Structure 1
Amino acid sequence: MALKLGPWSGRKYFLDKMTLRDLVGAYFTHHAIMAYLVLAIGCLVYLVLNPSNYWGPALAAVLVLPIYPLAWYLLHRFVLHGRWLYRMPQTAALWKRIHFDHHQDPNDLGVLFGALYTTLPTILIVTIPLGWAIAGPSGAVAAVASGLLTTCFYEFCHCIQHLPFQPRWNWLKRMKKLHLAHHFHNEQGNYGITNFTFDRLLGTYYSHPRETPRSSTVFNLGYTGEEASRYPWVAELSDENQQPGAMRPARNR
């Protein structure tokens, strides 16, 4: 019998039933967050043991910060909210795990965190070419570390946005309001998680629900009953609480 260790063993976490203290404990013991932090520490150790001109790696790490929100925006809008992944049997399970399940139940912490087999390649693809172009191997390592830590920040803010907790800082309150509108009013806007600059630049930003019509696909991302009849693979993988529908609240627990 496999040995089960840690707070994530054999249980589920739902953000609407958690306190901030509960979240901190669950966040830092999730395997994805631990992986990001361990890899980031490894990158920093490499930089310390291989000293070079620190300005290049530092510049690479800093430049990741404005570029990462663009990468996330494009992936979120055109891949996660695109409809081509669920239309192929080879990628239907992937789409279900990385986004459909989260919109079906935004409070389920287990599917809020990105899957490592998708997030790590994305981080490496975005950061390594940039860092290498600026400062070679050290720049690439510094950029990867910056991407990993940025992802940790994104994930924690994402958790806060679904937690029944009122942030003290106005910027975090605003961020939470915009993201919840994406989940519960119209999913075809406010694609940013911590940064909505590219929503503003590319015409998908709305600051208040009354500014844009309510979406009938906010929970199923367009995977309606009609779509499921044509592309049944996600429906076949879903339980009775996740069957496609026009619009309904998150599943009961």
Structure 2
Amino acid sequence: MYQRWRHHGRSFDLGRMTLRELLVAWGTHPAIHAYAVLAVLSGAWAVQRTLADGTPLWRLLLAVVLAEAAYPVVWYGLHRFVLHGRWLYRSRWTAALWKRVHFDHHQDPHRLDVLFGSPLNVIPTIVLLLCPVGWLVGGWAGAGAALCAGFLTTCAYELVHSMQHLNYKPRAAWLRRAKELHLAHHFHHEGGNYGITEFAVDRALGTFYAGVRDRPRSPHVFNLGYDRAEAERFPWVAELSGGPPRDRPPPARDRQAAPGPAE
């Protein structure tokens, strides 16, 4: 089942995939399976510790609520200050990390294989940031409940994020609007609309924009500021990419044709 994801250079093209093909790809992706397994284990741990310690149910529910409230805030901070920061590509030791976690996604937003986050980065982040939140209100049972909520939310985020790049018009009005705002982040101005499913933090911190008329088009929307001049100064990402950074995604005819995972 995982063999389709192991081929180097394999790219499921969201511009060509159907919704059914995306759902199959999402449901068979090893990262999603890892998060689902960890959610089950975290939930089981929360139940076990609740029975052993007598933790009140309301504390577990509070841990889940706080984890869900913290998730978009954490995502915003990581997205804006780490993924869109210009410090990771300036070191040979972190250039490959930055390339994988976000640069490749902005260079070609249709590539599903680089849209999903790497579990090696996602899992430690969830554990380090959400586990203390749950522990503070519910002890180890609360920590397990917060982690369970975090991993399940990550599965949902990956699906919604993929749908936003799919050649598909969602039926739900809120999802259509979220898609419009996210695509503006990718194709108009990368310095705003950092959210995925909601944009309350963007509104609160002044990075929200409702449409393309609200901001001029950014010259760095596809390269995140890593242009040819930066590549000459800090060549490691360009070397890993096999060429200089692009100022626009490749045309559909130039992207590697790849049948969907349902085949």
Interval containing the TM-score (normalised by the shorter chain): over 0.9
Q: Could you tell me which of 5, 8, 11 is aligned with 1:8? A: 5
User: Structure 1 stretch 38-47 or stretch 48-57: which is displaced more?
Assistant: 48-57
Give 2:37's aligned residue.
Answer: 38
Give the distance between the partners of 2:119 and 2:13, measured in 1 at CA: 20
Give the distance between the partners of 2:177 and 2:212, measured in 1 at CA: 13
Indicate whether 1:93 and 2:96 are aligned. yes
Asked if structure 1 preserves the Cα contact closer than 8 Å seen for 2:59 and 2:137, the reply is yes
Give the distance between the partners of 1:180 and 1:250, measured in 2 at CA: 16
Which 4+ residue blocks in structure 1 deviate beyond 6 angstroms? Answer: none
Q: What TM-score do you get using the length of structure 2 for normalisation? A: 0.90
Q: Alignment partner of 2:88: what SS?
A: coil
Count of residues in Structure 1 that have an aligned counterpart in Structure 2: 247
Q: Could you tell me which of 206, 210, 216 is aligned with 1:207? A: 210
Q: CA deviation at 1:9?
A: 4.2
> Any stretches of 5+ residues in structure 2 without a counterpart?
256-263
Q: Alignment partner of 2:140: what SS?
A: helix
More relative contact order, 1 or 2 (CA 8 Å, 6+ apart): 2
Q: Alignment partner of 1:114: what SS?
A: coil
User: Which residue type is aligned with residue 30 of structure 2?
Assistant: H
Asked if structure 2 preserves the Cα contact closer than 8 Å seen for 1:7 and 1:26, the reply is no
Give 1:149's aligned residue.
Answer: 152
Indicate whether 1:114 and 2:117 are aligned. yes
> Any stretches of 5+ residues in structure 1 without a counterpart?
none
Q: CA deviation at 1:204?
A: 0.6
User: Which residue type is aligned with residue 8 of structure 1?
Assistant: W
Q: Alignment partner of 1:74: what SS?
A: helix
Indicate whether 1:244 and 2:236 are aligned. no
Give the distance between the partners of 2:233 and 2:106, measured in 1 at CA: 21
Give 1:27's aligned residue.
Answer: 26
Give the distance between the partners of 2:2 and 2:140, measured in 1 at CA: 37
Give 1:68's aligned residue.
Answer: 71
Q: Could you tell me which of 218, 222, 240 is aligned with 1:219? A: 222
Give 1:47's aligned residue.
Answer: 46
Give 1:138's aligned residue.
Answer: 141
Give 1:77's aligned residue.
Answer: 80
User: Structure 1 stretch 164-173 or stretch 4-13: which is displaced more?
Assistant: 4-13
User: Which residue type is aligned with residue 15 of structure 2?
Assistant: D
RMSD across aligned C-alpha pairs, in angstroms? Answer: 1.4
Asked if structure 2 preserves the Cα contact closer than 8 Å seen for 1:27 and 1:33, the reply is yes
Give 2:61's aligned residue.
Answer: 58
Q: Could you tell me which of 136, 144, 158 is aligned with 2:161? A: 158
Q: CA deviation at 1:146?
A: 0.6
Give the distance between the partners of 2:83 and 2:46, measured in 1 at CA: 34
Give the distance between the partners of 2:235 and 2:202, measured in 1 at CA: 32
User: Which residue type is aligned with residue 58 of structure 1?
Assistant: L
The percent of aligned pairs where both chains have the same amino acid is 55
Residues 195-224 of structure 1 show CA distances to partners (whole Å, capped at 9, x for unaligned) of 211110111100100100100011100001
Q: CA deviation at 1:248?
A: 2.0
Q: CA deviation at 1:6?
A: 4.5
Asked if structure 2 preserves the Cα contact closer than 8 Å seen for 1:20 and 1:165, the reply is yes
Residues 75-127 of structure 1 show CA distances to partners (whole Å, capped at 9, x for unaligned) of 00000000000001100000000000000011111100011111111111221
User: Which residue type is aligned with residue 229 of structure 2?
Assistant: E
Indicate whether 1:18 and 2:21 are aligned. no
